[in-house]
Structure 1
Amino acid sequence: METVVKRLTRSDWSSVSKIYKEGIATGIATFETEVPNWKQWDAKYISACRFVALVKTKVVGFAVLSAVSKRDVYKGVAEVSVYVSNEFKGNHIGETLLKRLVKESEINEFWTLQASIFSENIASINLHLKCGFRLVGIRENIGQLHGKWYDNHFLERRSRKIN
């Protein structure tokens, strides 16, 4: 199965929002409980580092970065989000997207990428480890979802190109 990665645009929003909704439904992908509208989503993610994966002409996954802080000293630190449609999981699409996102992040002078992943989301933790992230620690009871406390594995990847 050939996967093509391209920049995410407004025209991809319908597909991206459906994939995000699938992630919300898992209960272990995000603490969010509703899909935002395009305007809200667009304001949250860094425009230079947004990608979708296509199989034929179908959007099957996306990867984006969000700023971890508005403070100038953290301008090179971003949080990673990678989502793959349930229908296409297990086809290395997440890996393809994350590798592209890492490459593009360095072009845009990000020196640290971080990910906060539900401890139950073993596939995502393994994906990030495979792509050069390291486990920094486990944030216990970091947030509640539907009345249940969850731990997050906190991972980061430091650029070897940007110091």
Structure 2
Amino acid sequence: MIPSDWAAVERIYAAGIEGGNATFTISTPSMEDFFAGRIPGLNLVATSADGAVQGWAAATPTSTREVYQGVIEHSVYVNPGAAGRGIGLILLQALAERARELGYWSIQSSIFPENSPSLALHDKAGFRRIGHRERIAHMDYGPHAGTWRDTILVEQRL
């Protein structure tokens, strides 16, 4: 992922936010904030043959504590018009490979139980469901506004 990909990355991210089952985030960040919060080398895009961004994956540190320096949290988003074509799986596999090369040993994410496509994708990519967090945060927007949401914690050991 490079800065010229940002407009497409942001559109795909916004579509995920709008659907209400991708993130607690209310709106997309600025490009500068997005890149500042992500681990360099672990921001990936998948493009079509004509170069159009069809999906993205990125990772952030899980903690600032040194003992957790090898543990990262990831996000993966696919253009809704390209869903079901294996793009998410390609992105997750590439992210895991690159993370392993960079010395990370564990990738995790929290997924809403209602996001069955993401849960199925992570199952297929070799992630394990390791926990269910009940009423972890309150949703402030979208179709679930005003409700407490659960998440499923998934993990892949590299």
Alignment of 1:34-45 (within 5 A): 34-45=27-38
Runs of 4 or more off by more than 6 Å in structure 1?
none
Aligned to 2:157: 158
Give yes or no for the alignment of 1:12 onto 2:22. no
Unaligned runs of 5+ in 1: 1-7
Aligned to 2:142: none
Alignment of 1:1-163 (within 5 A): 8-56=1-49, 57-145=51-139, 146-159=145-158
Instruction: Quote the offset at 1:130 in angstroms.
Output: 1.0
Instruction: Quote the offset at 1:147 in angstroms.
Output: 1.3
Task: Name the % identity.
Answer: 39
Secondary structure of the structure 1 residue equivalent to 2:154 = strand
Instruction: Quote the offset at 1:89 in angstroms.
Output: 0.3
Instruction: Quote the offset at 1:71 in angstroms.
Output: 1.1
Instruction: Quote the offset at 1:84 in angstroms.
Output: 0.1
Instruction: Quote the offset at 1:95 in angstroms.
Output: 0.4
For 2:94, the aligned partner's letter is R
Q: Which has the higher strand share?
A: 1
Secondary structure of the structure 2 residue equivalent to 1:110 = coil
TM-score, length-scaled by structure 2? 0.94
Instruction: Quote the offset at 1:140 in angstroms.
Output: 0.5
Secondary structure of the structure 2 residue equivalent to 1:52 = strand
Aligned to 1:3: none
Q: Aligned partners of 1:119, 1:157: CA distance in 2, in Å? A: 18
**Residues 68-108 of structure 1: CA distance to partner in whole angstroms, max 9, x if unpaired?**
11111111000010000011001010001100001001001
TM-score, length-scaled by structure 1? 0.91
